[in-house]
Amino acid sequence: MTMVFDVALREALRDRRRRLKVALQESGTRTELVRLVRDVDGALDRLDRGTFGLCDSCHDPIEVERLLVDPFLCTCLDHLSPNEQRALEHDLGLAAQVQGALLPRPDVVIPGFDIAFHSDPAGAVSGDYFDLIPPGPGRREALLVLGDVVGKGLAAAMLGSRLHAIFRSLAAIGLPVGELVGRANAIFCGNILSAHYSTVVCVEADAQGRVAFSNAGHLPVLAAVAGAVRELGRTGLPLGLFCSTGYATGSLQLERGDTLLFYTDGLSEARDRANLEYGPERVQRLLEQHRKSDAHALVDALIEDLRTFREGAPHTDDVTILAARYVGPERRT
């Protein structure tokens, strides 16, 4: 455990204990509340003794992503009982269903754009987050958002789901994209327990091809425009590091046939059987080669090229790809 994690966790546990004590005073002694207080006291005691996060059976570290979800765990995955293993598998299955339901619908319409996306978690759930928010009340432009929570497993997936709720809630306010990302950071930063953070890129686009973007520490969005590929680089720090961080905004004008390509580092940092990295340069070359393709053909080409590159090497990180090709405003008859 890091010092930042220990301090944040200790304060969160103490706050939880104070609230549980108040609940006990107001509602009388209830078995469930007494048990929760005992769990909190046990976790605080393990922090004081330096044994927090160690398995009671083998004394090896418990998986960090599981502790982030449940700080009261005392057993690592290798020493779960058969019943506990079945319960964990059941929970993971439910989490995967919930996360899958948050993905954009394949038939989502973003005015002026041909859209295609691919999401491939490395495990049951993904720490990648992306969303397509069409224009609606309070906003004339669409929002295209993609992020990558640092870490893996349930904790990262839960934080990704939280980002989904934050951006969905803020979208209707109609804030400029830089201010929207800043507001999202303040909410996200103020309610996370650990040193987790998330890179996010948010693009605002309308049917006339006007684009504004804010990039919170994420990989650059690649823009195939005017016969070349340019990067829409970082305009601020990742979400969750500092609550008062500001975010600058960049802009560009798309012409018919221009393409925006978003992706997470599960693509660019994938490795083959010789442990060589796929690399961002290869992503850019694929975009240059398929700059005249529609969005689905581009995404399919990237998926196939990645599969060929890996040659059966392990899939160790979540991969998310989003392509948005500008096709121009709808013609009215």
Asked if 216 contacts 238 with a C-beta cutoff of 8 angstroms, the reply is yes
Q: Is residue 332 part of a domain?
A: no
* Domain boundary residue, one of 69, 96, 123: 96
Count of structural domains, the chain: 2
Q: Is residue 331 part of a domain?
A: no
Q: Is residue 48 part of a domain?
A: yes
272 and 126 in one domain?
yes
304 and 176 in one domain?
yes
How far is the CA of 220 from the CAs of 69, 254, 327, in angstroms?
30, 17, 22
91 and 183 in one domain?
no
Greatest mean pLDDT among 34-43, 90-99, 116-125, 273-282:
273-282
Max Cα-Cα span within the chain: 74
| Mean pLDDT confidence for 162-168 | 90
Instruction: Find the domain containing 235 and state its range.
Output: 104-326
Q: What is the pLDDT of residue 88?
A: 66
End-to-end CA distance of the chain: 63
Q: What is the pLDDT of residue 28?
A: 64
What confidence category does residue 8 fall into, taking pLDDT thresholds of 50, 70 and 90? low
Is the pLDDT score of 322 beyond 50? yes
130 and 66 in one domain?
no
DSSP letter, residue 231: E
309 and 160 in one domain?
yes
84 and 36 in one domain?
yes
Query: What is the crossing angle of helices 3-27 and 31-49, to 10°?
Result: 150
230 and 322 in one domain?
yes
Residues ≥6 apart with Cβ < 8 Å to 46 = 52, 53, 54
| Mean pLDDT confidence for 149-162 | 79
Q: What is the pLDDT of residue 91?
A: 65
Is the pLDDT score of 100 beyond 70? no
Tokens of 236: 């601020």
Q: What is the pLDDT of residue 281?
A: 96
Q: Is residue 263 part of a domain?
A: yes
Residues ≥6 apart with Cβ < 8 Å to 207 = 111, 112, 328, 329, 330
CATH of the domain at 14: 1.20.120.910
Residues ≥6 apart with Cβ < 8 Å to 280 = 219, 268
CATH of the domain at 221: 3.60.40.10
Q: What phi, psi does 133 have (nearest 5°)?
A: -115, 105
Q: What is the pLDDT of residue 78?
A: 77
Cα–Cα distance for residue pair 128/124, rounded to 1 Å: 12
| Mean pLDDT confidence for 21-41 | 76
How far is the CA of 129 from the CAs of 5, 55, 220, in angstroms?
23, 31, 16
Q: Is residue 333 part of a domain?
A: no
255 and 278 in one domain?
yes
Alpha helices in the chain (DSSP H): 3-27, 31-49, 64-69, 82-102, 153-171, 177-189, 265-268, 280-289, 295-310
Is the pLDDT score of 333 beyond 50? no
77 and 10 in one domain?
yes
Cα–Cα distance for residue pair 86/95, rounded to 1 Å: 14
Higher pLDDT: 222 or 26? It is 222
Q: Is residue 12 part of a domain?
A: yes
Cα–Cα distance for residue pair 54/68, rounded to 1 Å: 14
User: Quick one: what percent of the chain has pLDDT higher than 70?
Assistant: 85
180 and 314 in one domain?
yes
69 and 26 in one domain?
yes
Is the pLDDT score of 213 beyond 70? yes
| Mean pLDDT confidence for 237-251 | 91
108 and 92 in one domain?
no
Q: Is residue 65 part of a domain?
A: yes
Q: What is the pLDDT of residue 22?
A: 78
Residue keyed to tokens 């765990």: 73
Q: What is the pLDDT of residue 89?
A: 67
Q: Is residue 295 part of a domain?
A: yes
Cα–Cα distance for residue pair 152/92, rounded to 1 Å: 13
* Domain boundary residue, one of 76, 96, 116: 96
Q: What is the pLDDT of residue 332?
A: 47
Cα–Cα distance for residue pair 262/321, rounded to 1 Å: 6
Is the pLDDT score of 80 beyond 80? no
* Domain boundary residue, one of 77, 96, 115: 96
